[in-house]
């Protein structure tokens, strides 16, 4: 799928977004972005968005927790190249790079508990390598951080100034501490080498291309409801989550990467509309029309009790706030999960993700 020419350079076929003015004061067209983890759930939506904006996109991924199906539809896009690569190994890219967006990392609890060392390595070595690329190319670096850096928070909602309450040795620490280290090394590159850095702390996001069985609460409930199985709520269900529709998140990331400021920017990106896990289960039963029961199971270790971003800072800096309500988002994503469940029930063995459902009219307003 990659579009390398004989000399290893990516060919450029169409005009698009301009590279930012740096150094010689001249602009190149189009701007070029490297997206690590670009074949994943969020990364693939980001690839789509940047291509639509006229960027040239190089997607680096080792498919640890994703599938090439997520980006198969981008293969014919002239500005797109997929480069299979484990970013814990050194990254060499020929030619200019204007943005490095580091999204590579297992992200669901099930994935990072299954790949604990790989998660720590991609957060440490992978971030170090991606920063090295940004430094060499004079590119803006954006780290996909997470609300998990706040751990099981004692402050609610969580502002960026909160340092978090994280168990450094619990099972979830492989992800939480990897991301906290990734933030630390990112800020060190900004202070020591003058790399321009942005750190969005992403709260729970959902949308098409999530894997049905990735263990996150929304795909779990959708899959159980659509298959007529009981919805599994952990604890008494009073713990809260705040769910952001993927197009809102991508809009926030896009604005953040373009922000014309040199100092490091750390912002929460998430939807402040908070819901208890029990109420979310009920909403999903309503949206799917399912009559499944709700069953209660013990809470996993270090499960956060409350999650809601304080979005005051990001609103001030980027003028960003989410547009898609949870009800609307659940309706919009429903056809994707229906199709995914149908594919599983037909026993399609390697079902990965890319199903493009006939979206309801509301989707076109995004
Ligand atoms: N989805 C969310 O709700 C959410 C919330 C907070 C933070 N994030 C962050 O956003 C990023 C993307 O999350 P996602 O939900 O799309 O997860 P995902 O698992 O769908 O995508 C992660 C991608 O990274 C790739 N990857 C992992 N290790 C790699 C390595 N060593 N080299 C190259 N590629 C590698 C995987 O193959 C996958 O394609 C992650 O960094 C995650 O921590 C996501």
In a domain, 16, yes or no: no
Beta carbons within 10 angstroms of residue 136's beta carbon: 14
Provide the whole-model pTM. Answer: 0.90
Q: Does 296 qualify as catalytic in the annotation?
A: no
In a domain, 228, yes or no: yes
In a domain, 280, yes or no: yes
CATH number, domain containing residue 342: 3.40.50.720
In a domain, 27, yes or no: no
- Cα 104 to middle of ligand 1, angstroms: 5
pLDDT of residue 15: 45
Give the residue from 4, 92, 21 showing the smallest Cα distance to 56: 4
**88 CB under 6 A from ligand 1?**
yes
pLDDT of residue 314: 98
In a domain, 365, yes or no: no
In a domain, 22, yes or no: no
Mutate to test the pocket of ligand 1, among 42, 124, 266 (most ligand atoms within 8 A of CB): 42
The boundaries of the domain holding residue 153 are 32-355
Mutate to test the pocket of ligand 1, among 35, 46, 62, 107 (most ligand atoms within 8 A of CB): 107
In a domain, 55, yes or no: yes
pLDDT of residue 24: 66
Number of structural domains (the chain) is 1
- Cα 40 to middle of ligand 1, angstroms: 6
Cα gap 184→163, rounded to integer Å = 12
Q: What is the pLDDT along the chain (366 residues), one digit of tens a residue?
A: 444 333 333 333 344 688 887 666 677 778 999 999 999 999 999 999 999 999 999 999 999 999 999 999 999 999 999 999 999 999 999 999 999 999 999 999 999 999 999 999 999 999 999 999 999 999 999 999 999 999 989 999 999 999 999 999 999 999 999 999 999 999 999 999 999 999 999 999 999 999 998 889 999 999 999 999 999 999 999 999 999 999 999 999 999 999 999 999 999 999 999 999 999 999 999 999 999 999 999 988 878 888 899 999 999 999 999 999 999 999 999 999 999 999 988 765 554 444 333 222 222 221
**30 CB under 6 A from ligand 1?**
no
pLDDT of residue 345: 82
In a domain, 26, yes or no: no
pLDDT of residue 348: 52
Q: Are 263 and 219 in contact (CB under 8 A)?
A: no
């Amino acid at each position: 799928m990659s579009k390398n020419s004989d000399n290893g350079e990516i060919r450029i076929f169409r005009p698009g977004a301009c590279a930012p003015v740096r150094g010689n004061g001249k602009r190149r067209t189009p701007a070029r972005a490297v997206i690590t983890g670009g074949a994943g759930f969020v990364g693939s939506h980001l690839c789509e968005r940047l291509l639509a904006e006229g960027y040239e996109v190089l997607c680096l991924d080792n498919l640890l927790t994703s599938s090439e199906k997520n980006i198969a539809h981008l293969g014919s896009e002239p500005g797109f190249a997929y480069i299979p690569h484990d970013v814990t190994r050194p990254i060499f890219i020929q030619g200019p790079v204007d943005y490095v967006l580091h999204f590579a990392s297992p992200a669901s609890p099930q994935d990072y508990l299954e790949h604990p060392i790989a998660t720590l390595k991609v957060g440490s070595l992978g971030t170090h390598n991606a920063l090295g690329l940004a430094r060499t190319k004079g590119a803006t670096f954006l780290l996909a951080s997470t609300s998990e850096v706040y751990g099981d928070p004692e402050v609610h909602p969580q502002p960026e100034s909160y340092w978090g309450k994280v168990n450094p040795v619990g099972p979830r620490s492989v992800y939480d501490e990897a991301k906290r280290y990734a933030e630390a090394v990112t800020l060190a590159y900004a202070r020591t080498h003058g790399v321009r850095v942005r750190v969005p702390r992403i709260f729970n996001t959902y949308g098409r291309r999530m894997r049905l069985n990735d263990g996150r609460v929304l795909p779990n409930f959708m899959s159980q409801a659509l298959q007529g199985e009981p919805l599994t709520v952990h604890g008494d269900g009073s713990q809260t989550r705040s769910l952001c529709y993927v197009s809102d998140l991508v809009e926030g990331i896009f604005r953040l990467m373009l922000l014309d400021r040199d100092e490091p920017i750390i912002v929460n990106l998430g939807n402040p509309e908070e819901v208890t896990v029990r109420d979310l289960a009920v909403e999903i039963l309503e949206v799917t029309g399912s009559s499944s029961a709700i069953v209660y199971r013990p809470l996993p270790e270090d499960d956060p009790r409350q999650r809601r971003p304080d979005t005051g800072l990001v609103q001030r800096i980027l003028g960003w706030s989410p547009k898609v309500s949870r009800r609307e988002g659940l309706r919009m994503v429903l056809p994707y999960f229906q199709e995914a469940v149908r594919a599983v029930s037909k026993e399609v063995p390697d079902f990965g993700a890319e199903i493009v459902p006939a979206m309801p009219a509301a989707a076109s307003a995004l």
